[in-house]
Structure 1
């Protein structure tokens, strides 16, 4: 068994087609066929079963594929580390991110990262909502994402890096707008129309649990802070239950009142990455740095990024 056979196997297992795999590997189909036949003979088990013009992995092939992918990823990583050992970390990282961390957290993180590792790394940001971001991360559109925690996403690692508070958003003419704090129980007793996030979103699910516990029901829903703020601004008697983020900044007629019975770290934002995906040295270093980074929320400076909306 040699490395070429393992790389050939990995490609054929992914494409499940000899002609396509041989073309991608820039070898003759006969070379690929002979390599796989020798590998199966050496292992003593069939790895592929023919299915018309294509092939599919056998039970033994699927088990072998998992070991091969893990081994080759580790090897590729070691080769890259050896090449980069005496160099600045360079390259490009594509990161999907919810927009609410781009005002101060990400600029502060990038300044600190560049202070430690230099300016060789290019970071491209792609903005979106949590669920689409995670779907694109799973499809390998990004190496990393900053998004809310979502349950039942096998293969993804979520590392909390900051949290956002939930507040009551009211028009300044609302009778409760002058309060220093409010509770959900008080909102229930005032019978105010509640506007909050759609329950099918991660943040909406979190809020819905608290509404149920307080005996409250939402009268209207929105996807984000800007849309939610606009609804509250147009309905002076309503109360928005919303994250206190930069999305509220445009609404000069609205006030955000803290909620006394909701934890301040209500909504964690996580650094998310695929557990088994190959990671360049730059990506691994970025993960390690971000995990240990301590953010000072009082920093308000901005940073320029190459950004693309998703």
Structure 2
């Protein structure tokens, strides 16, 4: 028995098709068949049985597969760690991110990660909303890490907070609210308030705040960009409760952002989480990325903040 046979066995157990497995292993199908027959002969048990044009693991094969996968995973991780010592950590990461962090926080994180580990790990970033990102992680569209809002009742997923956004009040230019250093929910009486759609993580989060203070709002928007566009042409009696993100940057010449009294809503209101599968194998590229992200100090100029006297300019 040798390592090649074990790697061949692992690939065949994953694909359950000799031709496909041989192609991915860059060997001929007869060579793969010979290696598996030799392995079965040495072990004294059948590992695969034919099922049409495919094969499937026997009960012996299923039991052996668990040991082989564990052993090769640890071996692969050891090899990657040794390569890391020489600056040759490599791999591919598919990262799904919220629109609101792919323009500031996520690029800063990836840049810092490459500065620390080198450019051997290729990071591909895709954008979406929280719920599609979570589903994409579960069905392996994103095979490594997803940054999204927290979603309850997902026992297979692990959520780690990495950055927080501030809840603010957005108003059209000229609004009376813009003259205040900060507002409380009592100041919003008489205003037509818009915010995030209910049924989304951020919408439900804001909804709980609205219920706490007895405030009624139209929960009819999905993101800051569409709310910013609405505010840019809104009437003076309209406003929006939204998080202060780069999605508002194109509209800051036509709208004003006002802080909310921190006694009512903390500055770190809406946490964005790094989400990954709890039990599944993490290669060294993924493992190092997760560890680095959890320790990454968010630069002060990356996340927009609105103070009690004025709102900071965009970075």
Q: What is residue 285 of structure 1 aligned with on the other side? A: 288
- Contact between 2:194 and 2:241, CA under 8 Å: does it hold in 1? yes
- Contact between 2:92 and 2:123, CA under 8 Å: does it hold in 1? yes
- Contact between 1:91 and 1:121, CA under 8 Å: does it hold in 2? yes
Q: Distance in 2 between matches of 1:120 and 1:8?
A: 26
Q: 1:244 deviation in Å?
A: 0.5
Q: What is residue 306 of structure 2 aligned with on the other side? A: none
Please list, as runs of the form range in 1=range in 2, the aligned pairs for 1:246-285 lying within 5 A after superposition.
246-251=246-251, 252-260=253-261, 261-275=264-278, 276-281=280-285, 283-285=286-288
Could you tell which deviates more after superposition, 87-96 or 265-274? 87-96
Please report the RMSD computed on the Cα atoms of aligned residues, expressed in angstroms: 3.4
Q: Distance in 2 between matches of 1:239 and 1:3?
A: 65
By relative contact order (CA 8 Å, sep 6+), the higher-ranking structure is: 1
Q: 1:67 deviation in Å?
A: 4.6
Q: What is residue 133 of structure 2 aligned with on the other side? A: 133
Q: 1:225 deviation in Å?
A: 0.6
Q: What is residue 312 of structure 2 aligned with on the other side? A: none
Q: Distance in 2 between matches of 1:210 and 1:57?
A: 53
Number of aligned residue pairs: 294
- Contact between 1:195 and 1:232, CA under 8 Å: does it hold in 2? no
Could you tell which deviates more after superposition, 86-95 or 283-292? 86-95
Please list, as runs of the form range in 1=range in 2, the aligned pairs for 1:89-168 lying within 5 A after superposition.
89-90=89-90, 92-118=92-118, 122-138=122-138, 139-168=140-169
Please list, as runs of the form range in 1=range in 2, the aligned pairs for 1:25-40 lying within 5 A after superposition.
25=25, 26=27, 27-28=29-30, 30-31=33-34, 34=37, 37-38=40-41
Counterpart of 1:230 in 2: which secondary structure? helix
TM-score by length of 2: 0.75
Q: Deviations over 1:9-55 (max 9, x none)?
A: 4333333345544554433374366367558845xxx8667655445
Please list, as runs of the form range in 1=range in 2, the aligned pairs for 1:192-203 lying within 5 A after superposition.
192-203=191-202
- Contact between 1:105 and 1:297, CA under 8 Å: does it hold in 2? no
Counterpart of 2:182 in 1: which secondary structure? coil
Q: Distance in 2 between matches of 1:79 and 1:215?
A: 58
2:245 pairs with 1:242: no
Q: Distance in 1 between matches of 2:277 and 2:137?
A: 8
Quickly say closer, same or farther: Cα 1:120–1:79, change in 2 above 3 A. closer
Counterpart of 1:12 in 2: which secondary structure? helix
Quickly say closer, same or farther: Cα 1:254–1:72, change in 2 above 3 A. same
- Contact between 1:11 and 1:21, CA under 8 Å: does it hold in 2? yes
TM-score by length of 1: 0.76
Question: Which ranges of structure 1 fall in alignment gaps of 5 or more residues?
Answer: 301-310
Question: Which ranges of structure 2 fall in alignment gaps of 5 or more residues?
Answer: 304-315
Q: Distance in 1 between matches of 2:85 and 2:300?
A: 34
Q: 1:59 deviation in Å?
A: 7.1
Quickly say closer, same or farther: Cα 1:60–1:234, change in 2 above 3 A. farther
- Contact between 1:96 and 1:142, CA under 8 Å: does it hold in 2? no
Q: What is residue 221 of structure 1 aligned with on the other side? A: 220
Counterpart of 1:145 in 2: which secondary structure? strand
Quickly say closer, same or farther: Cα 1:4–1:233, change in 2 above 3 A. same
- Contact between 1:18 and 1:33, CA under 8 Å: does it hold in 2? no
